[in-house]
Structure 1
Amino acid sequence: MHCTVVERELELKLVLSPERSVPVPARLSYRTDDPYAVHISFHINSEQPVDWTFARELLVEGVFRPCGDGDVRVWPTKANGRSVVLMALSSPDGEALLEAPTTLVSAWLERTLRMVPPGSEAEQLGLDDALHQLLAR
């Protein structure tokens, strides 16, 4: 099966406190062979990038309204007069609050949604065909 990848390099901010944040180079990626997920890789003082994977739907919704609970929470806000999306990530290894420019995230998400419209993810995986073949036996 053919896989298409939509990537976007951008600079996130790792929010350390209300007054302090540090720039973090990051890459957003979306793969048509994993149509329900988005992947974010970023470098924080480490050899290996830190990778997070979560539901694309969560990021799409989080651009407009607070959503998510548990390990990944996403919500829109303003920072210095600019629209930003905040992502709170928590794992056994620690927690991070990341800030991304809404315009960049939205434009990238739009590309993923044009490629695989919401509701058509299962077709990308060929689940219907596989199920049909299974039941036809």
Structure 2
Amino acid sequence: MAEMARTRPVAVQVDTALRLVVPDGSGVPVQATLRYEPTDPYAVHVIFCADLADGDDPEPSVAWSFARDLLLTGLTEPAGMGDVRVWPWTGQDGQVVALALSSPDGHALFEVPTATLDDFLQRSYAEVPAGEEPSYVDLDAVVTELLRA
């Protein structure tokens, strides 16, 4: 019997509500999208959506990109340094993952539902398994992009 060819991996996207932790310890819900693109196999993207009136489609307002393995490590132990840090944490609603983002414009601490993040990562690793990322990098496209600059 002939082997079935693996289908081309697809993007993984999860819309979720994060909790922005404010200085008094309370939280503000923030709509966000977790996105993984097999064409950028080492990275994940968190896209924070603007707060719009009911009935409007959310428009991306801020996007952060960082290493996929940083999120995976952050599920079970502190990971990252500098602009992006991730660690398991007990929040107001139980076990969550803390996501701390820093930029010259300020700092933000978010609580990410652990189950949502774990599901997202499992789906991304099902598309591009750990260690197989180099097979999905289009070096010609990278060189072309670098030469454009």
Regarding TM over 0.5, the answer is yes
Over aligned residue pairs, what C-alpha RMSD do you find? 1.8
Counterpart for residue 107 of structure 1: 119
Counterpart for residue 13 of structure 1: 19
Superposition deviation, residue 96 in structure 1: 0.7
Counterpart for residue 46 of structure 2: 40
Cα distance in 2 between the residues matched to 1:110 and 1:119: 14
Structure 2: 5+ residue runs without aligned partners?
Answer: 1-7, 53-58, 140-149
1:68-126 CA deviation, whole Å, 9 max, x = no partner?
A: 00100000011236210001000112111011110110011000011111110001115
Structure 1: 5+ residue runs without aligned partners?
Answer: 128-137
User: Could you state the TM-score of these two structures normalised by the residue count of structure 2?
Assistant: 0.78
SS across alignment from 2:79: coil
1:41-77 CA deviation, whole Å, 9 max, x = no partner?
A: 1135597511000000100000110010010000001
* Identity fraction in percent: 44
Cα distance in 2 between the residues matched to 1:44 and 1:67: 28
SS across alignment from 1:17: coil
**Number of aligned residue pairs:** 126
User: Could you state the TM-score of these two structures normalised by the residue count of structure 1?
Assistant: 0.84
The question of 1:53 aligning with 2:53 is answered: no
Q: Following superposition of structure 1 onto structure 2, how do residues 1-137 of structure 1 map, counting pairs within 5 Å?
A: 4-17=10-23, 19-43=25-49, 48-80=60-92, 82-126=94-138
Contact map agreement 2:39 2:138 (CA 8 A) in 1: no
Letter paired with 1:9: D
Cα distance in 2 between the residues matched to 1:95 and 1:81: 22
SS across alignment from 2:72: helix
